[in-house]
Amino acid sequence: MPLFGPMITRPSEEGELALIADLQSGEEEAFNRLIAQYAPSIYRVAYRLLNDPADASDTAQEVFLRVFRGIGRFQNHCSLKTWIYRITVNAVSNQNRWWHRHRAQEISLEAQDNVWVSRHVVGKGRDPFESVLSQETQELVQKALLRLPESARTVLVLREMEGLSYEEVAAILHVSLGTVKSRLARARQALKVELEALLAPVQEPLPAWSPAD
Amino acid sequence: MSAAMLRCWIYRKLLTAHLEESLPGVLCQTVSRHMASCADCEEQWQQLRSVSLLLRQLPAPAVPPDLELQIRLRLSRERRRSQQPSWSWRWGNLLSPFALPGAAGVLLAVVIFGAFFPLLNQPVRADSSDVPLTLRTPPRLRSSGPISLNSSMEGLVVQLLVDQNGRVADYQILTGNYTSDDVRVLRNLLLFTVFYPATLFGHPMPDTIVFPLRDVSDQTFLSKNAG
């Protein structure tokens, strides 16, 4: 049994094997099917890890470019899905490194939080109070998630948000199953700590006006 | 650390697995019983479950409608780029029409160079008109008068004093049988005989030579006093 990437991540479906064969023979239709199948999830993962729609879009394009260039060397050691997610995680990691080197000092003219909240309004038909509360909660969770280290954020996104199995996460990150479990436990704990820190009451000076006035 | 705290610490290590519902049945029931009796562990578990639920309830970001189109465009550009011939192929294709004329030109140049090189590289030969640069050179016969010698005179050997102008200034018969007529003929011969004068460091100077008369006919002489 291999150390990383257990046997259950091997492609067992005939459809996937046929798709891989078509991709390796360079069929354009096969690439179109691959894009339709994986582009939304790749974009979601990149967005959740980078928190920038433009960067997420660039990363998704970069991922498929790497798939196009590397599909000839793909040898079915893992499933196509695992391989594409691994490329995505690596591309995001490279993007983060580039961001820290080049853009860390830049200040965006957009207020990211407001953009995020306005873009992801949920429950439009619900009670406005509940809607706002839900938005604020989601905003807090997203903010806490972004404050986590990259490795913790990655494992949480892959497991909790994308719903991948432990084995798939282990194969994507190229670590053992036990490492995934311990990383996930630490990441949840860290996220809880970050949320507690964000929810802690801010020590502000007393207002100048009081009801006694 | 008390026993109760130690027990809670152990159970809290199992909370993540309990959350994932990956604990064996018996252990799962044990953890549940502990949480029913321990408010702190129950709170920890609820918080972890809330964190997990909050993450799963985060709305999926809206995928740009033109994302697939952008990806397909980029792949199309990449496919077109990868199908373009390589630079080595392009250069080869560009230069192939000139290959035969070029090779022929080079071959012709080699043949011409090989044919003319020996002419260009001839060895330098000494010119007979060169002035000898040795320290001292003897007199040499330049020309003699049109006087025929009889057989008895050809056996004579004379010693000549040649001045710096190449003219015979004095003579002395060393060997051979001769008559008074032979001496007259010899004087006439020497009167019309011209030598290249002897030289010292390239400058003409008088010198003596031993001169067999039979050498006059073939314009050679032996210089026995040279050196």
Query: Which residues of chain B does A188 touch, with a Cβ-Cβ cutoff of 8 Å?
Result: 16, 48, 51-52
Confidence of residue B221 (pLDDT cuts 50, 70, 90): very low
> Which range among A22-26, B11-15, B121-125 shows the weakest confidence by mean pLDDT?
B121-125
ipTM reported for the complex, 2 dp: 0.73
Mind listing the pLDDT tens digit for each residue in A157-172? 999 899 899 899 999 9
Tell me the pLDDT of chain A averaged across its residues.
Answer: 79
* CA dist., res. A203 & res. A96, Å (int): 33
Q: CA–CA separation, A105 vs B190, rounded Å?
A: 115
Neighbour-count burial for A59-95, b at 16+ CB within 10 Å, e otherwise? bbbbbbbebbeebeeeeeebbbbbbbbbbbbebbeeb
CA-nearest residue to A161 within chain B is B56
User: Which residues lie closer than 8 Å to A189 by C-beta, 6 or more apart?
Assistant: B48
Does residue A79 contact residue A170 with C-beta atoms inside 8 Å? Answer: no
* A67's tokens: 């798939």
What angle do helix axes A28-50 and A53-70 make, rounded to 10 degrees? 140
User: What would the pLDDT profile of B130-170 be if each residue is shown by its tens digit?
Assistant: 665 667 888 988 887 777 777 778 888 999 999 999 999 99
Q: Chain B: which residues have CB within 8 Å of chain A?
A: 16-17, 47-48, 51-52, 54-64, 67-68, 70-72, 74-75, 78-79
The whole-number pLDDT of residue B132 equals 59
Give me the phi and psi of B211, to 5 degrees please: -130, 105
**Residue A116: band (very low, low, confident or very high) from pLDDT cuts 50, 70, 90:** very low
Span B107-130, mean pLDDT? 78
Which pLDDT belongs to residue A210? 54
Tell me which chain A residues have a C-beta less than 8 angstroms from the C-beta of B59. Answer: 120, 122, 138
Find all residues with CB under 8 Å of A207, minimum gap 6, and list them: none
Of A34 and A210, which is predicted with more confidence?
A: A34
Q: What band does A1 get if pLDDT is binned at 50, 70 and 90?
A: very low
What is the pLDDT, as a whole number, of residue A123?
Answer: 42
DSSP A159: I
Distance from CA of A133 to the nearest CA of B (A): 13
Q: Which residues contact B192 (CB under 8 A, 6 or more apart)?
A: B144, B145, B146, B147
A41 touches chain B (CB under 8 A): no
Whole-angstrom Cα distance, residue B89 to residue A89? 37
Q: Do A181 and B16 touch (CB under 8 A)?
A: yes
